[in-house]
Amino acid sequence: MPPRAEEPRRDPSGSRRGSSRATGGRGEPRTGEPGVQGISDARAYTPRGRTVREERQAAGRPTAGGAEQRRTPRGARAGGDPFRPALQVLDGGRAGGGRAGRREPVPAARAAVVRTVPTRARPDDDDDDAPRPPRRRPAGRGPRRPTRPAAGRSPRKPRKPPRLADPRRRLRLGTLLVLALFATIGVRLVFLQAVDTPAYAGGGLADRVIRIDLPAPRGAIYDRTGAPLANSVEARYVFADPTRVRDRTETARALSPLLGRPASELAERMKPRTLENGKPSQFEYLARGVDVPTAKKIVALDLYGIGVHRDERREVPGGDLAANLIGFTSQDMVGLEGLEARYDDLLRGEIGRRVYEAGQGKLDAPIPGGYSSTTLPKPGSSLQLTIDRDLQFKAQQVLKSQVAKVQGSVGVAIVLDVPTGEVLAQASHPTYNAAKPQESEPTDREDAATSFVVDPGSIHKAITFGAALQEGVITPDTALPIPDTIVRGDTTFRDTHPANGRRMSLPGMLAYSSNVGTIEIADKLGPDRLIDYQKRFGLGQPTGEGIPGEASGRLLPAQSWSGSSYGSVPIGHSVDATPLQMAAAYAAIANNGTYVQPHLIKEVISGKDGSRTPGKAPVTRPVLSPANAKALRTMLEAVTTVDGATGLAAAVPGYRVAGKTGTGIRYVDGKQQPGEVGSFIGMAPADNPRFVVAVFVWSPGGGGGAVAAPAFRDIMGFTLSRNRVPPSGAPAPKFEVFPR
């Protein structure tokens, strides 16, 4: 809308639009001109229903040449006409402060509208163009309204109306905002679907995923024939949730006869207790390794707070059979002692796991097409030992009966296969039930063959004689004058069978276990060469048989020898060795002078596919020549054949036996123990040895030697018979103890 001017609009000719002057006369306005048939027609009538002319005539005023005036008389006061404000609004004029309005020229584009500009009404002023005096404002009123500029002055520049908003601009801005909103939502959706999906999916997955452990049974331990010595069976464990048990006493009474435990013990385990984190315990074991039928009975009782779950139990069919070798496991199937501990990583399987999405509550079945992952279990591998179950049983039985005669506290029996070095039996006494290890003492569970450290005594003399033969110091026909005693350092050494200075053959020295003759031979050999052969025969280092915690023994270095060491070391004192080390040394003599490492593992059976892998090949090394080894075996036969010899009780009817008796000392933590260690190690048939048997018996009161030889005889006889070894074809040679 154009700004409204303070003065009425005029035509270029100077006449007002819409007035009678614009027509060129005071007649009626021409049709189609501004002010005709518009709002001015309505203004030609007063609110009283009369025309302007009638109003003028009533007021006694001229009608300007008889033409009808469509203007309101200047003398009419707006205040006297209650409809004047409404007409001014319709006319688009401004209130005149109680004065009559003046018509404003109407543009040609808006001819239907006649604007009325308010003017100062004067009753007797008919000249529309005459100047009007300014109106004075009474004192005390508000600020004076702006007046019209005087004639000749430039009118005050009207204020511009506020600029209207551009709808196109609003539309563009709205479109941009909507597009930005959709773009933001789209980018967020991309992040949710592509980038953040794993995080959100993983967060919710834990609430609907079920994990099931797939058991992997522990591998078994078999003897050389495949008979189980230890194996795992499926079982159950019974547990309690103390927070849900309603009546501990009644629940314990119901479980006691099934679990075989006192009701008071079970009730105590069901007693509520608080964990270290301050939360109440919701799981307590009541029993482990419960057989499946018993577990089903417990489930049938439907006791509140009592549950049953899958478990595994280790079974040892033989009870104490080879228990000191096999060892035992914990209730969690972890090897603690013996072969179970040594090969725990091999025997123990890797449990599998199945993970899948499932519904909630009763709809806990796998969701079709949902997440599912299965890791197959890896059953543990099994061990096949070189042990013969029947021979092991016989060795334990004989050892137990013989040790009982002298109230021995420790006994050892070992059976070795000569060509292969396989351990066919390794018995210890006392022993224990591997199925119930908690009922035994720790000392009862030790494997005496590898942990029993002794001064071997006279059985060491075979090593001294073998080294002397190999080094050429002596020959099989050597005979030496042997005095009754000999002094080395501050110690006097004697023989139990004095020679009284006579010449004694090498077989005679062994048969009567001459200390003096052995010391004289060792003097010719020297300490360095003797120690070298001790190492070649396997002394001073673990055999590596496979039992954990095997003792290494100890050899006295040559620089540490005292004067008496030249007498004590050759006869088996000041030397620490285990029964297994000494048995392996005699096996080297029986094997034509070749040392073969004793070992227990025959094969490893894969738990995955059942494939068999042979055990690690044993270490072998030459010690004696076959000729010297045979000569030494022949000399050792005198121990079981010469009249009055020390080993007559070890003779096996029908077989030639070569061996040696010994009387040693036992040491525990470096301290000598009371009593003595009686021993016998021998081989049969002596002309072609197949087996070596070693027996050691320590008794605090002595007398071990009296039972070691008979125990050897019984064990060796059974071994030869079980393996169908034919008797010796030729008798043992005749030995001359004191040659002429």
699: domain CATH number is 3.40.710.10
Q: Looking at the structure, do residues 256 and 367 belong to the same domain, yes or no? A: yes
Q: Considering just the CA atoms, what is the radius of gyration of the chain in Å?
A: 63
User: Two tokens at 406?
Assistant: 């002298």
- The alpha carbon of 369 is separated from its chain's Cα centroid by a whole number of angstroms, namely 28
What's the burial of 82, exposed, middle or buried (CB within 10 Å: 0-12/13-18/19+)?
exposed
Q: Looking at the structure, do residues 362 and 412 belong to the same domain, yes or no? A: no
- The alpha carbon of 535 is separated from its chain's Cα centroid by a whole number of angstroms, namely 45
Instruction: Pick the last residue of a domain from 118, 147, 179.
Output: 118
User: Two tokens at 437?
Assistant: 């290890």
Structural domain count of the chain = 3
Instruction: Pick the last residue of a domain from 95, 118, 141.
Output: 118
Closest CA to 210 of 359, 408, 76: 359
Residue 730 forms part of a structural domain? no
Beta bridge partners of 501: none
Residue 249 forms part of a structural domain? yes
Q: Looking at the structure, do residues 573 and 682 belong to the same domain, yes or no? A: yes
| Cα atoms in the 13 Å half-sphere on the side-chain side of 303 | 27
Taking the C-alpha atoms of residue 532 and residue 469, their distance in angstroms, rounded to an integer, is 14
Residue 128 forms part of a structural domain? no
- Report helix angle 461-470 to 527-536, nearest 10: 110
Taking the C-alpha atoms of residue 134 and residue 120, their distance in angstroms, rounded to an integer, is 9
The DSSP line for 45-111 is B-TTS-BHHHHHHHHT---STTPPP-S--TT--GGG-TTHHHHHHHHT----TTSPEEEE---GGGT
Residue 636 forms part of a structural domain? yes
Torsion 715-717-720-723 (CA) sign: negative
Residue 278 forms part of a structural domain? yes
Left (φ > 0), alpha (ψ -120 to 50) or beta: where does 487 sit?
A: beta
Pairing of strands 382-385, 221-222: parallel
The DSSP line for 495-562 is -SS--TT-EEEHHHHHHTT-HHHHHHHHHHH-HHHHHHHHHHTTTTS----S-TT----B---GGG--
Residue 171 forms part of a structural domain? no
Whole-number Cα distances in Å, 184 to 176, 189, 198, 199, 543: 12, 9, 21, 21, 76
Q: Looking at the structure, do residues 371 and 412 belong to the same domain, yes or no? A: no
Residue in the block written with tokens 């010469």: 642
pLDDT of residue 554: 92
Q: Looking at the structure, do residues 373 and 407 belong to the same domain, yes or no? A: no
User: Two tokens at 713?
Assistant: 């005889």
User: Two tokens at 380?
Assistant: 């543990």
Q: Looking at the structure, do residues 326 and 230 belong to the same domain, yes or no? A: yes
User: Two tokens at 401?
Assistant: 């009966």
What is the domain range of residue 509?
Answer: 391-432+445-722
Q: Looking at the structure, do residues 410 and 297 belong to the same domain, yes or no? A: no
Taking the C-alpha atoms of residue 614 and residue 601, their distance in angstroms, rounded to an integer, is 8
Q: Looking at the structure, do residues 600 and 566 belong to the same domain, yes or no? A: yes
Residue 274 forms part of a structural domain? yes
pLDDT of residue 8: 46
Residue 205 forms part of a structural domain? no
Q: Looking at the structure, do residues 274 and 303 belong to the same domain, yes or no? A: yes
Is residue 357 within 8 A of residue 373, CB to CB? The reply is no
Q: Looking at the structure, do residues 381 and 240 belong to the same domain, yes or no? A: yes
Q: Looking at the structure, do residues 349 and 410 belong to the same domain, yes or no? A: no
Is residue 423 within 8 A of residue 587, CB to CB? The reply is no
SS3 assignment, position 161 = coil
Q: Which segments of the chain have a pLDDT < 70?
A: 1-157, 163-165, 200-207, 361-364
Torsion 289-295-298-299 (CA) sign: positive
The DSSP line for 215-228 is --PPPPEE-TTS-E
Q: CATH number of the domain that 283 lies in?
A: 3.90.1310.10
220-259 residue pLDDT tens: 999 999 999 999 999 999 999 999 998 999 999 999 999 9
Taking the C-alpha atoms of residue 214 and residue 231, their distance in angstroms, rounded to an integer, is 19
Beta bridge partners of 382: 605
Percent of the chain as helix, strand, coil, to the nearest 5: 30, 20, 45
Residue in the block written with tokens 């005087």: 150
Q: Looking at the structure, do residues 221 and 309 belong to the same domain, yes or no? A: yes
Positions annotated as catalytic residues are 458
